[in-house]
Every structure is written in C-alpha cells, then in structure tokens.
Amino acid sequence: MTAVTNRAGRTGGGRAVLAVLRAREVGILVLIGFVVLITTVKNSHFVEANSVQQMLSGAALFALLGVGETLVIITRNVDLSVGSVLGLSAYVVGYMFKYHHIPVWSGFLIGTLVGVAAGVVNGLIVTVLRVPSLVVTLGMLYVIRGIDGVIVNGDQIDPASIPNSFTAVGYRTFLGIPWLAIIVTVVVAIVGYAMRSFRASRELYAIGSNPDAAALAGIPIGRRVFSAFLISGTLAGFAGALFLALHTQINNNGGVGYELIVVTAVVVGGVAIFGGSGSVVGAALGALLLNVINQALVAGRISAFWNQAIAGALLLAAIAFDRWLSLRVTRSLQSAEGAHHEL
C-alpha cells in the first residue's frame, strides 16, 4: 500500500472554497475603502483625523453589541433585546452617578451587571422553557424598554452629573485612535480568538450548523446557548456604560432601534442568519461599514434621511448574496474531489 500523497497540501477544491469563505472580511474592508474613497473625492474633510475618529467611535458600540449578537446568531437564535438593555444600563449607570456618586470603575461594573441580568433571563427562557428566541427577545425588548421608561420617569442625566474620568473613556484617544475603538478592538480580538480555539465555542457553531447532529453528538446545547445569551446581555450592559461615556447624557431613549442596526451589521459582516458560520471580526467590520456609510452620507451632503433605507437595502442584499454564495459553494464542493483511494 502506498502512502497517501500530499500530507500538508490540500485538494484544490477545498483550498479555493476556504479562500472564498474567508474573503467576506476582506470584501467588507474593500467596500469600506470604496465608500471612503468616493466620499473623499466629494469632500476631502472626510478623512481628517476628527472625522475618522468619529467613524471609529460611532461604530465601536455597534461592533461591541455585534460581538454578542454574533454568538447568539451562530447558534441559530437571535437577540433583539440588546438595544433596550443598552438603554436601561446607560440610564442606571447615570442614575447611580447622579444620585449616589459611585466611583467610576463601579459605573462600568453596574452597567455590565444590568446586562448580565438581562442575559440570564433571556437565556433561561430560551433554553429551559424552550421558547423561540425571536419571540422572547422581542417581548423582552418591550418589557425592558417599558421598565426603562418607568424608572426614568421623565428624568434626564446631564453631563454635569457624570464624573470626568468616566466620560474621558468616551472621547480620549491614544495615538489618534479613540479609547472606545481600542477597547472594542481588544474585546473583538479576544472573543474572536476564543471562537476559533476552544471546544465550547466550536460547539456553538455545531449547534447552529445542525442542531439534530449536535444533540446526537452529546453537545450540551442548553448550556451553550445560555452562555451565548449571557455574553450577549453582558456586552450590551457594558456597551450601555460606554454609551453614557460617549454621549454624556441619557434619558429614556437610549439605544432605541439599535437591535436592528446590530442585526444588519452582523449579517452584512458575514454571519449567516441561519447559524453555523461567521466571525466576530466580520460582524465588527459590518458595524464599521454601516457607520462609515452613515457618515459618508453626511459628508457627501446627501440627505441623512437615506440612512435607514440604505441599511435595509444592505441587509437584504447581504442575505441574498449569502444565499447565492452558499449555493455556489455547495455546488463547487459537490464537484470538488471527494475521497480518493490508494492501493
């Protein structure tokens, strides 16, 4: 029996396909570059330091939310409550600063804890009660928004009530890069690495890719899905604190509509809405792309009213493109070489 031929090498079909799949992140970067280019032609101020910093800061929160959302969507679920959680968390932190003068670090902690609580509730209802996540998080979106409104009760937290060292996180830069962007990049890097490197995270992909096979393989689906919702909630809570740091004020309208933007960003960024594939890096880039387009409209002096319509069209295009791509990939993999035999 002869030894198997190429050991480290790969068959042409396999390599090419992986390249195509990985190209999504690159594709978004290219798109971002393209948008930046054509906007700069119209308005050279677009690439000035200030403008770039705004783009990065503006995208940072959505990218952070996107990280948690990615984990949830990969398991074939969805978390529509992230915007409300962010808003509630931001207000609670502001409230604590204004009326209880808590230390700065504690602000971040409290915000995160609000998110943890929401994540736990979502996770339990989805995994223990086996309720579809779409409905649960849709309901929670409104329950939390309502609670937020009741607690806020017409109050508003102003910049004056917030300690400077807290808001510093929102506007300070390091070597020209906003702290917000750095923090979020670090989170994305850590989570992204973890998603590739640990058994538990690979099981998330398995759950979304084929839930029946995952059950058969003995994967603790309930536990894993719960963790995904827990992380999503936690990051939304943390993002709420960052929101307050960035915007320096909060009433009862924080984060309204954010969940739709996040889902759009994540899908545009290559996370399949049916689960099983995608990366947090792609999601973060998707958030960046959406924000760049946002700013580009303003800079290009196109009416900002087009924002939502473009976001909607982008999401539809992304889903359709993904489906087309996956059909093409499947077809090419079917005709790619399968098992050979040596004698």
Partner 1 sequence: MSSDTAVRASSSAAPTGSGDGAAPPWRSVVRWEGGLVVVLAAVLLFGSIKSPHFTDASTLFYLGINTGYVAIMALPVTFVVMTGEIDLSVASMLGLSASTVGYLWHHGWSIWAAFGVALVVGAVGGALNGVLVAGFGLPSIAVTIGTLTLFRGLAEVMLGSLTIPTLGDRQFPSGLTDIGANSLPGSQLSWSMLIFLVLAVVFGVVLHYTALGRSMVAIGLQPEAAQFAGIRVRRIKFGLFVLSGVLSAFAGILDMLQQASVTYDIGTGLELNVVAIVLFGGVSIFGGRGTIVGVVLSVAIVGSLQMALTQINVSADKQNIVTGVLLLISVIVPNGGEALRRVRDRVRRRTVPRPR
Partner 2 sequence: MTSAVAEITFTAAEMKGFIFRPARGTNAVTEAAPTLVLTQATKSFGPVLALADGSITLYPGEAHALLGENGAGKSTLVKILGGVYRPDAGSLELGGRAVEFTGPSDAVTAGLAIIYQEPSLFPDLSVAENIFMGRQPVGAGRRIDRRGMNRAAHDIFRRLGVALDPGRPARGLSVADQQIVEIAKALSMAARVVVMDEPTAALTTVEVLRLFEVITTLRAEGVAVLFISHRLEEVFACCQRVTIMRDGRFVRTAPVEELTIDDIIRSMVGRDLEALFPKTATVPGDVVLEVDGLARHGAFSDISFTVRAGEIVALAGLVGAGRSEVARAVFGVDRRDAGSVRVAGRALPNGDARAAMAAGVALVPEDRRQQGLVMELGIDQNVALASLRRLSRGGLLFRAGERRLAATWTSRLRVKYGRLRNPVLTLSGGNQQKVVLGKWLARGPKLLIVDEPTRGIDVGTKAEVHRILDELVAGGLAVLMISSELPEVLGMADRVLVLREGRLTAELSRAQADENTIMRAATGQDPELAA
Q: Which residues bind partner 2 (CB under 8 A)?
A: 1, 3-5, 7, 10-11, 13-14, 17-18, 21, 196-199, 202-203, 205-206, 208-210, 212-220, 272, 276-277, 329-343
Q: Is 273 helix (H, G, I), strand (E, B) or coil?
A: coil
Q: How far apart are CA 295 and CA 46, in angstroms?
A: 8
Nearer Cβ to partner 2, position 14 or 159?
A: 14
Q: How far apart are CA 126 and CA 99, in angstroms?
A: 35
Nearer Cβ to partner 2, position 18 or 38?
A: 18
**Per-residue mark of binding to partner 1, 121-160 (x: CB under 8 A):** ----x--xxxxx-xxx-xxxxxxxxxxxxx----------
Strand-pair partners of 157: 250
The CB-of-275 to partner 2 minimum distance in angstroms stands at: 8
Q: How far apart are CA 71 and CA 82, in angstroms?
A: 13
Nearer Cβ to partner 2, position 153 or 335?
A: 335
The CB-of-171 to partner 2 minimum distance in angstroms stands at: 36
Nearer Cβ to partner 1, position 245 or 263?
A: 263
Q: Which residues contact 121 (CB under 8 A, 6 or more apart)?
A: 140
Nearer Cβ to partner 1, position 102 or 302?
A: 302
Q: How far apart are CA 134 and CA 123, in angstroms?
A: 12
The pair of three-digit structure tokens given for residue 30, joined into one six-digit string: 């290219």
Nearer Cβ to partner 1, position 157 or 246?
A: 157
Q: How far apart are CA 331 and CA 17, in angstroms?
A: 11
Q: Which amino acid is at 243?
A: F
Report whether 167 contacts 159 (CB < 8 A).
Answer: yes
With CB under 8 A, what is the number of residues at the site for partner 1? 54
Report whether 244 contacts 61 (CB < 8 A).
Answer: no
The CB-of-208 to partner 2 minimum distance in angstroms stands at: 8
The CB-of-132 to partner 2 minimum distance in angstroms stands at: 18
Q: Which residues contact 39 (CB under 8 A, 6 or more apart)?
A: 46, 296, 299, 300
Binding site for partner 1 (CB under 8 A): 76, 78, 125, 128-132, 134-136, 138-150, 207, 211-212, 214-216, 221, 225, 252, 260, 263-264, 267, 273-274, 303, 305-313, 315-316, 319-320, 323
